[in-house]
Amino acid sequence: MKIMDRQFLNIFSFISLYNLNILLILGLTIFLGTVGARIFKKFRIPQVVAYIIIGILLGTMGIGIIKEPIIKAFEPFNLFALGLIGFMIGGELKKEMFQKYGKQLFYILISEGLSAFLLVTLIVVLVGNFFFGSSKLVWAIGLLLGSIAAATAPAATTDVLWEYKTRGPLTTTVLGIVGMDDGLSLVLFAIASSIAVSLLGKTSAGILAKSFRTLYEIGGSIGLGILGGFALSSIVKKINEEYGILAFSIGIIVLILGIAKLIGVDILLAAMSIGFVVTNYIPRKGKEVFELIDKFSPPIYVLFFTFFGAKLNLGRLTLPLILLSVVYLLGRTMGKGIGASFGARLSGAPKTVQKYLPFCLFSQAGVAIGLSILATHRFPGEIGNAIVLIITTTTFIVQIIGPISTKWAVAKAGEVGLNITEEDIIRQSKAKDIMDKDVPLINENMSLTEILKVFSESNYLYYPVVNKEKKLLGVLTVDNIKNTLMTSGLNWFLLAFDLMEPPVVVTSPDTPMREVKELLSRHNLEYLPVVGADKKVSGFLEARSINRKISTKIIQLQKQAESLG
């Protein structure tokens, strides 16, 4: 009995230690990933690069804290993160965008996808024939790699766009392309794998069956996502509590991802379809849904990208595979760039899209790696292993270069910082950025007649009263003057000093606007004097003026973004 008790305690201790290690790994991953992002931000490098590098340092190529079993155990979590990313991308695909950019997106999608497919296939075959001799094997590898080259990773690219609050024709085009070219890659892969099977003389389902399978994957994922989108829209329309909206949103997204996985359809397209329905069917309420998901998701993204970096292992590369990796990378980069630029010109896209879109399509990850794994199942042995290693190697490179390149492109296009909200402006601003600097000052000895003249020449409701040194003494309000005129018979003999009221609270020019809003709310005020260290008036804040200036700033940025197109 004692032996059994001891065995039970040993098992329990092992389980507890394992769980503790999982928690420790999660904590380290989120903490170090976030710290790394902060450090990289100082060098103007996108945060996603930091996440991946931290993952590499913690993973199989680094110190080995995040081991293969842990990565495998967290595979469902990675699918969840990919689903959230797909959902947020779908939220950007508004019907107005397709009305304005539909033709442009179609031309660019077909052009950049097919160019990458053809160029990678041809270059891989030419180099393969030169070094390894002409063979059907080389053609099979070339076709499969070409089809995978058409895909662009949405996660790393969109993370950069969201981090830098971009808005404009280039941002819209990028979101549309990275959201849709995975579907094109799936179609090309189905065609390429059918041809590869024929070349290698393997028995397989016919072209008709493979075409049906591809249509099922794409159509099934979109149909499932649309059902989930309408279900989520119907529910959140009736809910006002934020926690309820967030819980139902996450619940339905996860449910749809689970069903998609069960029936064998693409989870990214399914998640995108949910977001597409929500943003177009309930645009106002949908905005709240996406804001809540956006606030919920940062730790999820940190884990997703760090685990991606952790599972990279390039130690099994041989010289021929390194050569093919370089060839694939060059062919994909050139194909995407030439095709995107040609498609943009053909569709009459804005100059910024024609010029900078190629620099936003480097990244590859989820779908590309998924298709390479699928290739190992359909072509076990030499072909499958070669494709997985080539895609893994090139993914590592483009996931580092891609975000930096995307950030450079949207900055050059003038789209950085144009997609900000009221909350963003408040978070980024200080009192001196929003305050009225030219508000009329009322001298303490000013007569009522002079005060009324100042009132008639301006539209403020509150005026700071100062002494000769322009130091704040109090505040004069329009209501205060009105009440005085109605109740006092000696009102014409009164001075500003007699009419003012002492300020309840003041603030400094460098006070963050978030704190200013809290002061106004806490003291139930409509105004707030801004004074410097010398007690002199620097400016004045009125609640109505704050809201007006923030709204004006948002409208200006929207117009600036629209003018780029």
Q: Is residue 251 part of a domain?
A: yes
Identify the segments of the chain with pLDDT beneath 70: 1-20, 44-45, 97, 101, 132-134, 201-211, 214, 312-317, 365-366, 370, 373-374, 376-377, 483-493, 563, 565
User: What is the pLDDT at residue 248?
Assistant: 94
Rounded to whole angstroms, what are the CA distances from 242 to 178, 249, 291, 292, 296?
30, 10, 10, 8, 12
At 360, which CATH number? Answer: 1.20.1530.20
Instruction: List pLDDT tens digits, range 257-268.
Output: 999 989 988 787
Structure tokens at 62: 């680094």
Vertex 499 angle, CA 494 and 505, to 5°:
160
Q: What is the C-alpha separation between 348 and 335, in angstroms, rounded?
A: 20
29/83 same-domain check:
no
Q: What is the C-alpha separation between 511 and 505, in angstroms, rounded?
A: 13
91/189 same-domain check:
yes
Instruction: Identify the domain boundary among 373, 396, 419.
Output: 419
Beta bridge partners of 474: 465
Instruction: Identify the domain boundary among 378, 402, 419.
Output: 419
Structure tokens at 379: 């072509």
The beta strands (E) that lie in 217-272 are given as: none
Phi, psi dihedral angles at 472 (to 5 degrees): -70, 130
Report whether 190 contacts 211 (CB < 8 A).
yes
382/432 same-domain check:
no
Of 252, 262, 187, the closest CA to residue 225 belongs to 252
Q: What is the C-alpha separation between 104 and 153, in angstroms, rounded?
A: 20
Domain residue limits at 480:
427-563
76/130 same-domain check:
yes
At 468, which CATH number? Answer: 3.10.580.10
How many residues are present in the chain? Answer: 565
Report whether 442 contacts 462 (CB < 8 A).
no
Number of domains comprising the chain: 3
Q: Is residue 63 part of a domain?
A: no
User: What is the pLDDT at residue 377?
Assistant: 63
250/358 same-domain check:
yes
E strand or H helix at 435: none
Of 544, 537, 549, 548, the closest CA to residue 463 belongs to 537
137/155 same-domain check:
yes
Largest Cα separation within the chain, whole Å, is: 108
Q: For residue 403, how many C-alpha atoms fall within 13 Å in the half-sphere facing its CB? A: 28
38/77 same-domain check:
no
332/199 same-domain check:
yes
Q: What is the C-alpha separation between 122 and 541, in angstroms, rounded?
A: 65
